[in-house]
Amino acid sequence: MTFFSFLLLLLSQNPTAPKPAQATPAKETIAWSAQRPLTWTDFKSKPMPADRLAALTSGNIDVQVGCTDFVFSSSVKAVFLPQESWVRDAAKATPTLLRHEQLHFDITELHARMLRQKLSLVKLNCQHLNPAFNNLTRAAFSAWQREEARYDQETNHGLNADKQKFWEAQVQVRLTQLVAFAQ
- Tell me whether strands 86-87 and 55-68 are parallel, antiparallel or unpaired: antiparallel
112: helix, strand or coil: helix
**Which is nearest to 87 in space by CA: 69, 70, 109, 102?**
102
Q: For 26, list phi and psi in degrees, rounded to 5.
A: -70, 140
Helix (H) or strand (E) holding 30: strand 30-31
- Tell me whether strands 2-10 and 55-68 are parallel, antiparallel or unpaired: parallel
Question: How confident is the model over 106-153, as pLDDT tens digits?
Answer: 999 999 999 999 999 988 888 878 788 889 999 999 999 999 999 999
**Per-residue CA distances from 103 to 34, 56, 66, 75, 157 (Å):** 11, 12, 30, 22, 11
pTM: 0.85
156: helix, strand or coil: coil
Mean pLDDT computed over 95-112:
98
Domain count, the chain: 1
Most confident of 65-79, 131-145, 157-171: 157-171
Q: Which domain holds residue 7?
A: 2-181
